[in-house]
């Protein structure tokens, strides 16, 4: 079975959620949590910044073109995630380590 490519990493209290697409994240995340600030920022694997907002009861995720890429912010998030990801989930753990080592 091929590993799914991660396209979006969302900061959360988990401390991070990993998604294969923006659409998957927008479908999975609850609009009320977005409004309550549970997900303050998101990144793609290159450190580009994404903002989350709502339109009615729908979650909208858009690249923040006014913010420069923030690979350091992404690395901080991935370090936190790596501390809590089970060693059973080698794919996510390897993603965190590969990105941090860039």
Query: How much is the pTM?
Result: 0.82
pLDDT value of residue 1: 39
Return the pLDDT at 2: 47
pLDDT per position as a tens digit, 69-86 = 999 999 889 888 877 776
Q: What's 38-96 look like in SS3?
A: CCCCEECCCCCEEEEEEECCEEEEEECCCCCCCHHHHHHHHHHHHHHCCCCCHHHHHHH
The pLDDT value given to residue 91: 62
- Return the pLDDT at 90: 59
Low-confidence ranges of the chain (pLDDT < 70): 1-4, 86-102
């Amino acid at each position: 079975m091929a590993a799914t490519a991660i396209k979006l990493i969302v900061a959360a209290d988990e401390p991070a959620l990993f998604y294969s697409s923006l659409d998957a994240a927008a479908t999975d995340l609850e609009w009320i949590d977005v409004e309550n600030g549970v997900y303050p920022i998101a990144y793609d694997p290159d450190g580009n910044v994404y903002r989350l907002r709502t339109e009615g009861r729908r979650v909208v995720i858009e690249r923040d073109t006014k913010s420069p890429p923030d690979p350091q912010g992404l690395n901080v998030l991935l370090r936190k995630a790596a501390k809590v990801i089970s060693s059973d989930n080698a794919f996510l753990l390897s993603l965190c380590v590969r990105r941090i080592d860039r």
